Amino acid sequence: MPTLDAPEERRRKFKYRGKDASLRRQQRMAVSLELRKAKKDEQTLKRRNIMSFCPDTPSEKTAKGVAVSLTLGEIIEGVNSSDPVLCFQATQTARKMLSREKNPPLKLVIKAGLIPRMVEFLKSSLYPCLQFEAAWALTNIASGTSEQTRAVVEGGAIQPLIELLSSSNVAVCEQAVWALGNIAGDGPEFRDNVITSNAIPHLLALISPTLPITFLRNITWTLSNLCRNKNPYPCDTAVKQILPALLHLLQHQDSEVLSDACWALSYLTDGSNKRIGQVVNTGVLPRLVVLMTSSELNVLTPSLRTVGNIVTGTDEQTQMAIDAGMLNVLPQLLQHNKPSIQKEAAWALSNVAAGPCHHIQQLLAYDVLPPLVALLKNGEFKVQKEAVWTVANFATGATMDQLIQLVHSGVLEPLVNLLTAPDVKIVLIILDVISCILQAAEKRSEKENLCLLIEELGGIDRIEALQLHENRLIGQSALNIIEKHFGEEEDESQTLLSQVIDQDYEFIDYEGLAKK
């Protein structure tokens, strides 16, 4: 059959549906994928602390009744003073400047050389209010650009911040967690600096049933940033340390804790089959499937993402997700009111459809086709594209009986209508699905009936028109279908097309279509 040389970005989103079974579940390796660009649904990388933890933090109590307004020069002088009171006043003023909602002077504070002194204040165990203000200021500097985060790291802040995780002052300890989360969230280099400085055991030791919820949220978010980023992935030792804690946090009832724990698992499963196995073998799948039924989008999105990542793994890992009940939930999510959820659900289903025929049979058993066809008919185009890939993977791996059920589901009508879509890849895939179904019908001596159905749906007219498409691959694919299946009546069209096409073409090998 004709071969679609899928663009690299698309190939990386799909499991390979090739002759070599070991390649069917090849992972997505691209750092930024179209499916992942819903920024508002993504987890926050870094956060600035604009508000205090509570109205009466230790530093605010100390500052009560003291109206301090300092210039930058006075801040620099105060920070470098040997008087703890002056150091505190100057650091707190700097922190308040850095906590401004608009245009905090991060560059100015770095350029003033305040970071080394603030790092020294982190070690001032006799003055927890000073430690708190310094940690807060450094948190906000680290929330900036990578260059600004680097200034905090190179100022030596990581180790003193980790030591503050053992502070008896809860506010100081929590602020240190937040700062480390911002540093780790910058990228793999600083994430690994935090990990190799032995932060994880100290973070895990803080988790307890009596911990204030805001504190637990910060810890969970920081742990998720320690799982984040690839090239390289976090080391196996770190993953093994964090996974049991994530499993525990998934039992919590707070939506923010659940959200960040799920995001952490989504990062850990966005990789090789071995990495997916590390997560799946914890027994987490049943809980993730339950969270996929959440009415809260911040929980549903990352739990669905994680399960979607898992079914890019081996056939066995996909079966574990099916056994955990994912196919009970995905048909409902295809009907979700958010297109972003519909799209993710279709993406996950396409990975199941890329598996062996017994996985396809389970899709049929859970009645996935009706909502999938409804999306092909009425969904937003970005959702329709994912649904087309699901149908493509289904068609290429299905048995003859399964293909018949696919046709009976009404899938041909929306596929024919999408032949006018302004997307070359999708049109090529649809043409190939139609070709695949026609060939199967021919083997069952049902080709004449199928051709009549395609004609009734306006399919022949649309395929004929595509022979003169500006994209030559589409033109050739349409010509192949007309010649092979509707050829007797198409001599005139073929003569016209032969005048337009004057060179060799690539062909679409449907077996080689890459799955997400």
268 occurs within a structural domain = no
433 occurs within a structural domain = yes
457 occurs within a structural domain = yes
404 occurs within a structural domain = yes
458 occurs within a structural domain = yes
CATH of the domain at 412: 1.25.10.10
Give the residue-averaged pLDDT of 165-177: 98
Other CB atoms within 10 A of residue 495 CB: 9
The encoded tokens of residue 286 equal 């049943």
- Name the residue with tokens 């807060």: 136
50 occurs within a structural domain = no
Please report the sign of the dihedral spanned by the C-alpha atoms of residue 136, residue 142, residue 145, residue 149.
positive
With CA atoms as reference, report the closest residue to 244 among 209, 198, 207, 295: 207
DSSP 181-205: HHHHHT-HHHHHHHHHTTHHHHHHH
pTM for the whole thing?
0.85
CA distance 129 to 448: 83
377 occurs within a structural domain = yes
pLDDT in tens, 188-217: 999 999 999 999 999 999 999 999 999 999
Domain housing 452: 369-486
pLDDT in tens, 490-516: 444 444 444 444 444 444 444 444 444
414 occurs within a structural domain = yes
DSSP 273-340: HHHHHHHHTTT-HHHHHHHTT-S-HHHHHHHHHHHHHHTTS-HHHHHHHHHTTHHHHHHHHTT-S-HH
CA distance 133 to 58: 10
pLDDT in tens, 323-368: 999 999 999 999 999 999 999 999 999 999 999 999 999 999 999 9
pLDDT in tens, 62-119: 444 455 689 999 999 999 999 999 999 999 999 999 998 899 999 999 999 999 999 9
With CA atoms as reference, report the closest residue to 88 among 133, 21, 124, 146: 133
Q: Within its chain, how far is the Cα of 235 from the centroid? A: 20
Structural domain count of the chain? 1
Three-class DSSP category at 111: helix
